[in-house]
Amino acid sequence: MPETRPVKSLGGLLHPGPDHDYGRQDRAAWLDVDWAQFQHRIQLDGREANYVDMGEGPAIVFIHGLGASWQSWLENLPELSRDHRVVAMDLPGFGYSQMPAGDISIEGYARWCFALLDVVGIGEAALVGNSMGGFIAADMAIREPKRVRSLTVVSAAVFWQDYRRAQPLVGLARLSDAYVARALARSTDSIATRRRLRTWALATAGFRYPHLISNELAQEMVRSARRTDGFLPALEALADYPLDEELPKIGCPTLIVWGAHDTLVPVKDAKRMQELIPGARREIFERTGHVAMLERPERFNRKLREFLAEQPEPREALAGDSAH
């Protein structure tokens, strides 16, 4: 069991008691995967796109959040790839996917994701998105419902533009973006190798108890955030695209997962989403922050598997769905 002791970071606000399933309790499967074997770079819309594609079976597509990358799903991809085809991409402007030719927008990201699925031969998929990725996945379910078998969102930032802090934060980000980007590019290795700095970085990213996350995962999360050219325009897109009036159009089975102690997107938004999406199911993870799939991977994987098992068999896939 992870050691449980008070943490003085963030003003001493984090004081976990006994917690038996926070973080990975044994050796993580992702550490033993040869990721180079499953990582691909292609040209999409004239720009380089990076994605991971592994496993066979019904397709699950994972979409990361703001400032993140495909590595947000490290704890989930190996488990789900045992009997599914799993695809996780770097959105344009993040990770190793280049910035798009045009402006970044939520609807633009949705179109880009569908274009990637066309290229890799996936006609219909279960979508799983965290934070901004949940926003994008919801938009995809509204835009092309026949291609979305089910929707799972983790702390989706669909109401973020409603908050009073949204526009001031965008303004502040504009002033500091260039400086922060340069500093991050220079210092990610230093942050990744220093425990106190890693703890601070993960707390900023929404982990409830960052000191309970394994050193390997913490280092990977910090290093994977090195390339975030799309951060500012994606932040602006989040603050300028209301979706609440469209949510009742979502007709696929929907699972809403949230951390009860999410400091980035409040847990009350889970109930609001559930009320707007017909038949949606809500799962609240206690003592959990913004990234439940990494904070409580075993529980999240189990809940996602149970949810997917309830869905009908997928419709016939596009030609080439299993050839990748």
Q: Above 60 in pLDDT, residue 188? A: no
Mean pLDDT of 84-89: 98
- Nearest alpha-carbon partner for 323 in 88, 85, 40, 49: 85
Q: Above 60 in pLDDT, residue 93? A: yes
CB-CB contact of 207 with 295 (8 Å): yes
Tell me the pLDDT tens digit for each residue of 23-68: 988 899 999 999 999 999 999 999 999 999 999 999 999 999 998 9
Domain chopping of the chain, boundaries: 21-309
Model pLDDT, residue 222: 83
Instruction: Give the right CATH number for 21-309 from 3.40.50.1860, 3.40.50.1820, 3.40.50.920, 2.60.120.10.
Output: 3.40.50.1820
Structure token pair of residue 282: 């809500």
Model pLDDT, residue 175: 39
- Average pLDDT of the residues of the chain: 85
The number of C-alpha atoms within 13 Å of 277 and in the hemisphere containing its C-beta is 27
Q: Above 90 in pLDDT, residue 170? A: no
Q: Following DSSP, what letter does each residue of 165-211 receive, concatenated?
A: THHHHHHHHHHHHHHHHHHHHHHHHHHHH-HHHHHHHHHHTT-SSGG
Grade residue 121 by pLDDT with cuts at 50, 70 and 90.
very high
Q: Above 60 in pLDDT, residue 5? A: no
